[in-house]
């Protein structure tokens, strides 16, 4: 039986959480004085939303086959992303066989090479690729992980990212990643505050529960070096995204300087096999963290992961809910997954892309066995009003 062809592609935007999970209300840990590259400007130090971290919003891409089956996926791209889908990229999908995933990816990437390569364009390509995998899984009646070679372990284990790793340990997570709150602009007092926070959490959790810092691109090499060595006293397991994503040279030097046994990690704001080849060949990271909704989708993450495996590097994708879970469970060099605690106080487990998805699975006791539901196994919440800014 011939596989259906793609009949239509549609791009919607929606605000308030979802894939743009930084788009939260006030009083949320994820926007509470977190160190960023903008923190050198005092007016932008308290809130990342103040400098626009949530300006884009969620992009929802739907791909409909000519038998009526619809696959969909999400990314952070909002209206600019919707424009790119409807006015540029739809032409490479409509009329194509639903199985032409590699061919479509190559056309999307090369047709946007003159203005894309990284950032929002690759976010959009990622969402289209993920929607195609969702559609293919639904047409074949298989979960996406079954399309990728099947699970190599029975269940996923998770670490938790959020302000309360001490609570996360009690929820069964294997470790906790703290957002770093103070960068170089806050000088020695900021460094002391960072270390006090890490010490407090170390004293509240057991020795077997790892602690890591997410520095969200906010540091310089000297500060990161000093922070890593001071953090080692409290068993810091890894220092994440200490430097701007393009500073491959800084990451390579940081990796030479950190205490033996401490991981240097990065990658959530890196794109495509080419960016990750640079990170790996320059020895920038022990563990890379591509976000499957931002790095190029499943099609590109398969290439990135194989490259990392050849370099002996682990791949623990940046938290992206079901879109990374279906990948991680099929990879030997992805031993655990990230769960972003989206509850405002990080005090309970709630679905990461709330409120946008129905049936979004969450870890229970820090573990998750993925269902066999076709595709990524989630549905759009009909109570979330989608808007199609560029209808055709």
User: Using CB distances below 5 to 8 A depending on partner kind, what does residue 319 bind out of ligand L6UHLTYX, Mg ion, none?
Assistant: ligand L6UHLTYX
Give the span between the Cα atoms of 295 and 213, in whole angstroms: 22
Which tokens is 40 given?
Answer: 């050198």
**Is 33 annotated to bind ligand?**
no
Q: Please report whether residue 338 would count as binding Mg ion according to CB under 5 A.
A: no
Q: Omega before 21 cis (within 30°)?
A: no
Residue number with CB closer to ligand L6UHLTYX (183 or 374): 183
Q: Which residues of this chain interact with ligand L6UHLTYX, rule CB under 6 A?
A: 30, 34, 161, 179, 214, 216, 268, 318-319, 340
Which tokens is 314 given?
Answer: 């682990």
Residue number with CB closer to Mg ion (225 or 265): 265
Which one of the listed residues 318, 326, 332, 387 is annotated catalytic?
318
Give the span between the Cα atoms of 78 and 143, in whole angstroms: 27
* 318 labelled catalytic: yes
User: Using CB distances below 5 to 8 A depending on partner kind, what does residue 61 bind out of Mg ion, ligand L6UHLTYX, none?
Assistant: none
User: Using CB distances below 5 to 8 A depending on partner kind, what does residue 340 bind out of ligand L6UHLTYX, Mg ion, none?
Assistant: ligand L6UHLTYX
CA distances from 35 to 107, 175, 218 (A): 38, 21, 6
Output the smallest distance, CB 268 to Mg ion, in A.
Answer: 5
Residue number with CB closer to ligand L6UHLTYX (34 or 302): 34
**Is 268 annotated to bind ligand?**
yes
Output the smallest distance, CB 56 to ligand L6UHLTYX, in A.
Answer: 14
Residue number with CB closer to ligand L6UHLTYX (212 or 280): 212
Output the smallest distance, CB 284 to ligand L6UHLTYX, in A.
Answer: 16
Residue identified by tokens 């129905």 is 358
Rounded to 10 degrees, the C-alpha dihedral 344/348/354/358 comes to: -170
User: Using CB distances below 5 to 8 A depending on partner kind, what does residue 291 bind out of Mg ion, ligand L6UHLTYX, none?
Assistant: none
Output the smallest distance, CB 65 to ligand L6UHLTYX, in A.
Answer: 33
**Is 240 annotated to bind ligand?**
yes
Write the CB contacts of 51 (distance below 8 Å, at least 6 apart in sequence): 36, 38, 41, 44
Output the smallest distance, CB 258 to Mg ion, in A.
Answer: 17
Residue number with CB closer to ligand L6UHLTYX (45 or 318): 318
Residue nearest to Mg ion (CB): 214
Write the CB contacts of 318 (distance below 8 Å, at least 6 apart in sequence): 267, 268, 289, 290, 291, 294, 324, 338
Q: Please report whether residue 214 would count as binding Mg ion according to CB under 5 A.
A: yes
Give the span between the Cα atoms of 166 and 95, in whole angstroms: 52
Asked if 374 contacts 138 with a C-beta cutoff of 8 angstroms, the reply is yes
Which tokens is 162 given?
Answer: 């959020």
Residues in binding contact with Mg ion, number by CB under 5 A: 2
End-to-end CA distance of the chain: 30
**Is 300 annotated to bind ligand?**
no
Residue number with CB closer to Mg ion (65 or 328): 328
Which tokens is 242 given?
Answer: 């200490």
**Is 192 annotated to bind ligand?**
no
231's enclosing H/E stretch is helix 221-232
User: Using CB distances below 5 to 8 A depending on partner kind, what does residue 30 bind out of ligand L6UHLTYX, Mg ion, none?
Assistant: ligand L6UHLTYX
Strand, coil or helix: 193 = helix
Rounded to 10 degrees, the C-alpha dihedral 13/16/21/24 comes to: 150
Q: How far is CA 62 from the centre of its chain?
A: 20
Output the smallest distance, CB 327 to ligand L6UHLTYX, in A.
Answer: 16
Write the CB contacts of 190 (distance below 8 Å, at least 6 apart in sequence): 181, 182, 183, 184
Question: Which residues are known catalytic residues?
Answer: 318
Q: Specify binding-site residues for substrate.
A: 22, 48, 338
Q: Specify binding-site residues.
A: 22, 48, 214, 240, 268, 338
Interface residues with Mg ion (CB under 5 A) are 214, 268
């Amino acid at each position: 039986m011939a596989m259906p062809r793609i009949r239509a592609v549609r791009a919607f935007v929606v605000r308030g959480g979802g894939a743009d999970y930084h788009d939260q209300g006030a009083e949320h840990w994820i926007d509470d004085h977190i160190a960023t590259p903008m923190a050198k400007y005092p007016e932008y130090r308290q809130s990342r939303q103040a400098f626009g971290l949530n300006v884009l919003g969620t992009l929802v891409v739907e791909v409909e086959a000519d038998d009526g089956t619809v696959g969909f996926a999400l990314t952070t791209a909002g209206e600019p992303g919707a424009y790119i889908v409807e006015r540029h990229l739809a032409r490479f999908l409509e009329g194509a066989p639903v199985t032409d995933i590699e061919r479509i990816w190559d056309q999307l990437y090369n047709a946007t090479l003159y203005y894309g390569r990284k950032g929002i364009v690759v976010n959009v390509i990622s969402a289209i690729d993920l929607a195609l995998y969702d559609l293919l899984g639904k047409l074949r009646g298989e979960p996406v992980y079954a399309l990728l070679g099947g699970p190599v372990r029975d269940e996923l284990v998770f670490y938790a990212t959020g302000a309360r790793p001490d609570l996360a340990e009690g929820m069964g997570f294997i470790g906790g990643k703290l957002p770093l709150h103070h960068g170089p602009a806050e000088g020695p007092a900021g460094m002391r505050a960072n270390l006090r926070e890490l010490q407090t959490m170390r004293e509240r959790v057991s020795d077997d529960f790892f602690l890591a810092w997410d520095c969200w691109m906010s540091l310089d090499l000297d500060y990161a070096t000093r922070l890593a060595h001071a953090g080692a006293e409290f068993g810091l397991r890894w220092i994440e995204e200490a430097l701007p994503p393009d500073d491959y040279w800084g990451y390579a030097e940081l990796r030479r300087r950190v205490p033996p046994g401490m991981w240097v990690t990065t990658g959530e704001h890196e794109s495509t096999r080419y960016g990750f080849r640079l990170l790996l060949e320059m020895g920038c990271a022990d563990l890379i963290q591509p976000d499957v909704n931002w790095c190029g989708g499943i099609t590109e993450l398969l290439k990135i992961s194989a490259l990392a495996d050849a370099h002996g590097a682990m791949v623990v994708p940046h938290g992206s809910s079901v879109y990374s879970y279906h990948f991680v469970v099929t990879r030997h060099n992805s031993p655990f997954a990230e769960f972003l605690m989206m509850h405002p106080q990080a005090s309970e487990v709630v679905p990461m892309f709330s409120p946008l998805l129905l049936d979004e699975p969450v870890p229970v006791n820090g573990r998750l066995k993925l269902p066999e539901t076709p595709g990524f196994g989630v549905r759009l919440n009909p109570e979330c009003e989608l808007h199609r800014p560029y209808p055709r």
